[in-house]
Amino acid sequence: MRPELAINLVTLGPSIDFGAAVRLCAAYGIQHIGVTKEQVRSIGAGEANRVLRGEGISVTGYARVPAFPRRDEGGWQAALDEAFRVVDEARTIGAATLIATGGQSGGEYKDLHRARLYFAEGLEILLHRARQVGLPVSLEPLHPMYAADRGLFFTLRQAVDFCHTLPDKVGVIVDAYHLWWDPNFVDDLTRATGLIRGYHISDWRLPTRSLLTDRAMMGDGCIDLPRLRRLVEEAGYRGPHEVEIFSELDWWKRAPEETLKTCIERFATHC
Amino acid sequence: MRPELAINLVTLGPSIDFGAAVRLCAAYGIQHIGVTKEQVRSIGAGEANRVLRGEGISVTGYARVPAFPRRDEGGWQAALDEAFRVVDEARTIGAATLIATGGQSGGEYKDLHRARLYFAEGLEILLHRARQVGLPVSLEPLHPMYAADRGLFFTLRQAVDFCHTLPDKVGVIVDAYHLWWDPNFVDDLTRATGLIRGYHISDWRLPTRSLLTDRAMMGDGCIDLPRLRRLVEEAGYRGPHEVEIFSELDWWKRAPEETLKTCIERFATHC
């Protein structure tokens, strides 16, 4: 059975507002979208939920859990407040999962192992709250080029191993862009069976001109997406396949409708 | 005992020619340099050797072994010719090791596992020749952001595991920039004891503006270099610590002497 296509709203770029983006997706038959807190906060979680319900669209993942500093540092309480806020917002918009990456803000911890311990302390408090409201939480390993500021987990194995240390069941998001190079991807997908809560797709552009916003449309890069899809499906994942393209230099310059139509076409032909 | 400092000539940028770069290093008491084939070919391996001997400088690593396509593809014979040529050149300049990264030229193989099999076929032929002339060969794992075109091995474990599949002993180069995020770095360094033939240093700039040429001077980024140095030394490595900074936007714009003096100073204070 053909998997369902989800669109992460970042793909449509910053030129379109939340309501218009949701309506555009609905007009093209998209039933699932992924969103960031910046997008949701631009109109408020309650209003975002009304827009989504009005169009019959459900939310896959809500990004993302804040970074957690050391407990005795100034930013701890602010991070906790933010953590509770994203749990509430994710619930309000009915997100299937809240997404964490573990990222720091600004590379302040040179010792990534220690940064992961600090992150775990905050995450455990967030998980307690999430459990109370019945919200699943997922960890997304990021590409190692984000190790300085955005991520703390860089292979699927490292993410799954970390999840197993937590008191609550935490799922994983598999993103082709972040993990296509992962040396143990095949074995570790098998270990991740039952934990996979999302599969994100885009492509790796050659050359990549910016670390953050130069992802390619599926089919325009060097990731073997049909193979990754097969592996993810063999690992039991049956949810939507979500296009997530940050592309300041290309797709974000185009009309959102053109980008969306291309996503739908390439999903059918190149994924 | 304080390790010796080596300078990879790429650090001084493209504004200085091979001879002047070697003499500048010698003037500052540097006794070891790392070089690329482009630099050596700019004056020829024989002349490069005369310049180096004249200044009493030895070569650490010679970069790099070509990519190998599928044996039945057009580029195979050209790759073999190039492989034999770099072996000869490395011998001519007396390099302590010839460096391989496995890289492809242009992301033509989406299946990295298969690309590694093709690479192994070519490498085994190169190793036979290298053994005949007594030239050690080393594999350098690269950062995963080079997976599309330059590298095939992205963690120390993956590089060491691959080395163990080869018919000849192949060493590894540990580069802080490529591996600082590596989840199993500590354990895998222990496994690499006796295999480490080089340790490269620089720093990870935040933000990184270019994938290829935006490395930072030691101390200006977020890599815990004193910790990595300790780990590499605990793994038994006693050779020179080699500064390798690609920095089109900063250090290559400065006078090579300023860059060199800063390397020497930062090596003493931040590594």
Buried b (16+ CB within 10 A) or exposed e, A51-68: bbeebebebbbbbbbbbb
Identify the band that residue B38 occupies on the pLDDT scale cut at 50, 70 and 90: very high
Two tokens, residue B135? 């030239």
Q: What is the rounded distance in angstroms from the CA atom of residue B230 to the CA atom of residue A111?
A: 14
Q: What is the rounded distance in angstroms from the CA atom of residue A25 to the CA atom of residue A34?
A: 11
Contact list in A for residue B222 (CB cut-off 8 A) is 107, 110, 148
Residue type, B158: Q
Tell me: the pLDDT tens digits for B179-208? 999 999 999 999 999 999 999 999 999 999
pLDDT at position A106: 58
Flag if B206 and A148 touch (Cβ within 8 Å): yes
- Is A231 near chain B, with CB under 8 Å? no
Which of A107, A109, A96 is closest to A60 using CA atoms? A96
Chain A's closest residue to B226, CA to CA, is: A110
Which of A104, A108, A110 should we substitute to test contact with B (largest number of B Cβ atoms within 10 Å)?
A110
Two tokens, residue B55? 């200044």
Which of A264, A212, A213, A214 is closest to A243 using CA atoms? A264
pLDDT at position A10: 98
pLDDT at position B110: 86
Give the mean pLDDT of chain A.
Answer: 96
Flag if B208 and A148 touch (Cβ within 8 Å): yes
- Is B143 near chain A, with CB under 8 Å? yes
- A183: nearest CB among B154, B210, B222: B154
Q: What is the rounded distance in angstroms from the CA atom of residue B198 to the CA atom of residue B203?
A: 17
State the DSSP string of chain B. Answer: -PPPEEEEGGGG-TTS-HHHHHHHHHHTT--EEEEEHHHHHTT-HHHHHHHHHHHT-EEEEEE-PPP---TTSTTHHHHHHHHHHHHHHHHHTT-SEEEE-B--SSS--S-HHHHHHHHHHHHHHHHHHHHHTT--EEE----GGGTTTTBS--SHHHHHHHHHTSSS--EEEEEHHHHTT-TTHHHHHHHTTTTEEEEEE-B--SS---SSSBPBPTTSSS--HHHHHHHHHHTT--S-EEE---BTTTGGGS-HHHHHHHHHHHHHHH-
Query: What is the torsion angle, in degrees rounded to the nearest 10, for the CA atoms of residue A7, residue A143, residue A230 and residue A202?
Result: 30
pLDDT at position A203: 98
Phi, psi of A28 (to 5 degrees): -100, 15
pLDDT for residue B109 is more than 80: no
pLDDT for residue B37 is more than 90: yes
Cβ atoms of B182 and B159 within 8 Å: the answer is no
Smallest Cα distance from B181 to chain A, Å: 6
Parallel, antiparallel or unpaired: strands A241-243 and B5-8: unpaired
Residue ranges covered by each domain of chain B: 5-270
pLDDT for residue A186 is more than 90: yes
What average pLDDT score do residues A119-145 get? 97
Q: Which CATH class is domain A5-270?
A: alpha beta
Q: What is the rounded distance in angstroms from the CA atom of residue B107 to the CA atom of residue B26?
A: 39
Residue type, A31: Q
Residue with tokens 């590694």: B116
pLDDT for residue B106 is more than 70: no
- Is B202 near chain A, with CB under 8 Å? no
pLDDT at position A108: 72
Which of A67, A94, A101, A91 is closest to A244 using CA atoms? A101
Tell me: the pLDDT tens digits for A22-41? 999 999 999 999 999 999 99
Smallest Cα distance from A85 to chain B, Å: 28
pLDDT for residue A109 is more than 90: no
- B149: nearest CB among A183, A206, A211: A206
Flag if A183 and B155 touch (Cβ within 8 Å): yes
Which of B96, B156, B100, B95 is closest to B127 using CA atoms? B100
Cβ atoms of A139 and A163 within 8 Å: the answer is yes
| Distant-in-sequence, close-in-space partners of A268: CB < 8 Å, separation ≥ 6 | none
pLDDT at position A86: 98
pLDDT at position A107: 63
Alpha helices (H) in A7-150, listed in sequence order: 18-27, 37-41, 45-55, 76-92, 112-133
Flag if B148 and A222 touch (Cβ within 8 Å): yes
- B224: nearest CB among A111, A181, A208: A111
- Is B177 near chain A, with CB under 8 Å? no
